[in-house]
Every structure is written in structure tokens, then in C-alpha cells.
Amino acid sequence: MVLKKYKHCFAVAAYGESRYLPYLLNSLKAQSIESKVIICTSTPNKFITACSAKFGYPVYVRNGKHGLKDDWNFAYEEGSKLAPLVTIAHQDDLYFPDYTKALLNAYSRFPDMSVFCCHYDTIDGDGNTINGTSEKVKQFLRFKLRNHGRSDRTEVKMSALKYGNGIGCPTCTYNVNYCPAPLFRNDYKFVIDWATLIRLAKEPGRFICLEKSLMAYRVHEGAETMRNIENNNREREESELFGQMHSEPVRWLLMHFYKKAYGAYENKKGN
């Protein structure tokens, strides 16, 4: 096993000129335990360069056309060269001060941890908390993951994923020793993270979930989630993934209820 210089790396996936990027970087700077932070992008520009200079975080540039899968894989691969634990930080989100502390504590207790995840808040474009049923449902799906002594079992890990994606992608940190690059190997546009977690759930390693809010996921009009809802890509891909795990009647029933969650994003248009 190759020793890495750092214990944990936030690999920021930056794209375009997001006004939320400085807020994310500030939240990483405010971590109670310092992590290595790098900014990864396929769209280098003056704004990202200015953010890099302000916060002192290096920029890694990927040559090639912007794409979620390639951008995320690039960020993960660069982070994996520096640390055994890598968080792909989405530029619109925020991490609360004790995220890294909680992560490292979990890793010290469970070195076979392949994926770390946690509870999260949902905020709008102005940073206001959005209260809804979506996260409550996700929390219910994660119920069995609370038993960390059994969370290395495939059926326990899959319990959080089989009836919907109970794990928030931005909350995740991956253990490079259990999750080698490339991390994202499917060709989905929206459920890329869900399909990846399903693959990892069937492989060795323990999923550690803390039901403590350690970060905030931002919902706004320019978000990738919103674009996938508007072009019906989300519905198509989620239906396909459910179809791989369930019979047709069950797939139809799950999609009937799952589509209700789309309103949480559609109602934020214009923010």
C-alpha cells in the first residue's frame, strides 16, 4: 500500500463561473481539522484562477470537453494521488466545520470503510434551509446503515439503495483502497452516483453513515439536477435503474412515488 502525503483530500469539481464556489471554498477553509484541497476543472477561467489565488488552493486542469463523468473521475483521480480518502466537493454546496473530523473519526474506527456518508441539509440559492419530505425518506432508507457492525454486508448496503437513493452523493467520501479509479464507470447523466454506489455496495468494504448534518446541498435553477428534470433525463434513468432491481409492477409503483420528489427542485425555479 502506497503511503499518501495527506489523510483526506477535498477535490473540488469546478465548472464555469459559479457564484457559489467561494462559499464552498470558504467552508473547506473553515474545517476544524485541515484537509488537502484542490480545484479541478475542464473549464479554466479567470474566475476560478481568482478563487484559487484567494484561498490558496491549486488548480488542476483537465483537457477535453466538459462532462460530469469525466470531470468527476478527473477530480477523484487527482485527489487519490494525494490521500486515501477523497471527497468530490460540488461547487454549489457547503461543508460544515466538523465534516472532516467526523470522517477521520469514522475511518479510525472502521479502516475497512469504503464509503462515508452523512445526513445533510438542503438549501436554496440564497442559503435558506428547505424543509421537505425528501430527506426524511432518504433517512428512512438509510436506517439499516446505522448498524455499523453489519454495514459491510451487501444486503445492508443495498437496503439504502434498492428502493431509491438514500445516500446523498455530495456527502460521500470514498476510500481509494476499496474504490480505485476510475470511480464512475457507467454512462448515466443523472443517476451516475446512484449506479456507482450500487456497484460499490456489492464489493468489499463497509458503508459508514452518520445521521448528523455535516454539509448542505444547494438546490437552484442552474443546478445539474434541475436541467435533468427539465429534459426528463432524470425520470428516464431512475426508471431504468429501478427496472434492473425490481419487477415491472414494483418499478412502476416506485416511480409513481419517486417522481413526487421532483417538485422539491421545480419549486425553486426563479431563485
Residue 122 belongs to domain with CATH number: 3.90.550.10
Residue 249 lies in a domain: no
Share of the chain above pLDDT 90, in %: 83
Residue 260 lies in a domain: no
Residue 1 lies in a domain: no
* Number of separate domains in the chain: 1
- Calculate the CA 111 to chain-centre distance: 20
- In tens, the pLDDT along 99-157 reads 999 999 999 999 999 999 999 999 999 999 998 778 888 999 999 999 999 999 999 99
Contact 61, 44 (CB under 8 A): yes
175/205 Cα distance (integer angstroms): 9
The answer to which of 1-5, 54-58, 179-183 has the lowest mean pLDDT is 1-5
Residue 112 lies in a domain: yes
The pLDDT of residue 47: 99
82/78 Cα distance (integer angstroms): 7
Cα 86–87–93 angle (5° rounding)?
A: 165
Return phi, psi of residue 175, to 5°.
Answer: -90, 115
Residue 62 lies in a domain: yes
Nearest CA-CA partner of 43 in 26, 67, 10, 25:
67
Residue 203 lies in a domain: yes
Nearest CA-CA partner of 117 in 23, 25, 208, 8:
208
The answer to which of 134-143, 160-169, 215-224, 227-236 has the lowest mean pLDDT is 227-236
253/79 Cα distance (integer angstroms): 40
- In terms of residue numbers, what domain contains 151? 8-221
The mean of the pLDDT values for the chain is: 92
Which pairing describes strands 113-123 and 59-61: parallel, antiparallel, or unpaired?
unpaired
The residue whose grid cell reads 484567494 is: 54
Nearest CA-CA partner of 224 in 103, 68, 77:
68
H/E segment holding residue 21: helix 21-29
Share of the chain above pLDDT 70, in %: 91
Q: Which residues of 54-87 are buried (b: 16+ CB within 10 A; e: fewer)?
A: ebebebbebeeeeebbebbbbbbbbbbbbbbbbb
Average pLDDT over residues 266-270: 48
Contact 69, 187 (CB under 8 A): yes
Q: Which three cell numbers stand for residue 99?
A: 465534516
Other beta carbons less than 10 A from residue 43's beta carbon: 15
- Calculate the CA 10 to chain-centre distance: 12
Return phi, psi of residue 214, to 5°.
Answer: -115, 0
Q: What is the sign of the dihedral through the CA atoms of 211, 216, 218 and 224?
A: negative
Average pLDDT over residues 172-187: 98
Number of alpha carbons in the 13 Å side-chain half-sphere of residue 185: 10
Residue 196 lies in a domain: yes
Average pLDDT over residues 70-81: 98
Residue 266 lies in a domain: no
Other beta carbons less than 10 A from residue 206's beta carbon: 23
Average pLDDT over residues 180-189: 97
163/241 Cα distance (integer angstroms): 10
Which pairing describes strands 113-123 and 94-95: parallel, antiparallel, or unpaired?
unpaired
